[in-house]
């Protein structure tokens, strides 16, 4: 007989194998063709304007299928004039992640303000507008000393010392060169007489010498010091000595 039972079984097996391979290949093809999306949005927001240190809290949600880095920017307006720009730190958001960002603003002025909030993610921008009202203010006491300010390629370093016990100390760069990013820093507690070395990351567009203000405020805004500094990088052996010294102090603090 030309086709026996064994041959029939082989033919059936080959047909089944071919169909299985075709199904697997088709499944792989469908998986590859699933489109990627770059999306995100704010899912919650709050702020407290009862104190002179205003804390803004944002939750951002990666609602797409692509991972990216995210940073939040806050611009505060008095009428049409920007009176403050603050940046959060940068965080990685995987698809489906929700992460919190905090930005602080110090002011002892009262009145109505507006704010523009922008999330920068994957070279995209998501924007929201909000209205602010501040009714209370304090006359702050100058209790902080800032010294040994130095500028490096992508961070600044300085020492701060408190004349009083200070809690919830926020360090806010302001009035820095346009287009630059300066992160903020928070210290939970600074003991009276304690000296703390602080580093703050920044990201210039094209680096050039400039100026910035450092605002140090604490105890709900009752303590506040503000100084203006020249951003000028050192060179040669002096740069090396200060760089190694600062790195060592930051390592000890960490």
Inform me whether the pLDDT recorded for 203 exceeds 60.
Answer: yes
pLDDT of residue 7: 60
CATH superfamily to which 41-134 belongs: Immunoglobulins (2.60.40.10)
pLDDT digits 0-9 by tens, 125-181 = 999 999 999 988 889 999 999 999 999 999 999 999 999 999 999 999 999 999 999
Inform me whether the pLDDT recorded for 12 exceeds 70.
Answer: no
- Structural fold of domain 144-233+240-253: Immunoglobulin-like (2.60.40)
Average pLDDT, stretch 7-16? 58
What confidence category does residue 212 fall into, taking pLDDT thresholds of 50, 70 and 90?
very high
Inform me whether the pLDDT recorded for 23 exceeds 70.
Answer: no
What confidence category does residue 2 fall into, taking pLDDT thresholds of 50, 70 and 90?
very low
| Whole-Å CA distances, 59 to 37, 43, 70, 91, 164 | 20, 6, 11, 12, 34
Domain residue spans of the chain: 41-134, 144-233+240-253
Inform me whether the pLDDT recorded for 72 exceeds 80.
Answer: yes
pLDDT of residue 161: 96
pLDDT of residue 13: 57
Q: Is 144-233+240-253 the same fold as 41-134?
A: yes
Determine which of 29-33, 39-43, 133-137, 184-188 has the lowest per-residue pLDDT on average: 29-33
Average pLDDT for the chain: 89
Inform me whether the pLDDT recorded for 71 exceeds 80.
Answer: yes
Which of 53, 48, 122, 54 is CA-nearest to residue 91?
122
Prediction pTM value: 0.83
């Amino acid at each position: 007989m030309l086709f026996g039972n064994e041959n029939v079984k082989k033919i059936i097996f080959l047909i089944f194998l071919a169909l299985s391979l075709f199904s697997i290949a088709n499944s792989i093809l469908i998986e590859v063709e699933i489109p990627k999306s770059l999306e995100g949005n704010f899912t919650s927001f709050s702020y407290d304007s009862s104190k002179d240190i205003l804390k803004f809290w944002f939750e951002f949600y990666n609602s797409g299928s692509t991972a990216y880095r995210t940073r939040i920017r806050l611009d505060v307006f008095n009428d049409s004039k920007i009176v403050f720009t603050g940046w959060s730190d940068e965080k990685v958001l995987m698809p489906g992640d929700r992460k919190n960002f905090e930005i602080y603003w110090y002011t002892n002025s009262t009145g109505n303000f507006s704010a523009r909030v922008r999330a920068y993610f994957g070279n995209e921008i998501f924007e929201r507008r909000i209205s602010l009202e501040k009714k209370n203010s304090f006359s702050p006491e100058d209790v902080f000393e800032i010294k040994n300010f130095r500028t490096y390629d992508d961070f600044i370093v300085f020492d701060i010392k408190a004349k009083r016990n200070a809690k919830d100390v926020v360090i806010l760069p302001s009035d820095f060169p346009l287009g630059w990013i300066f992160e903020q820093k928070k210290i939970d507690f600074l003991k009276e007489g304690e000296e703390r070395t602080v580093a703050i990351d920044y990201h210039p567009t094209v680096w050039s010498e400039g100026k910035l203000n450092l605002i140090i405020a604490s105890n709900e805004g009752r303590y506040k010091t503000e100084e203006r500094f020249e951003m000028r990088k050192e060179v040669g052996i002096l740069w090396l000595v200060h760089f190694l010294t600062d790195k060592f102090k930051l390592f000890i603090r960490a």
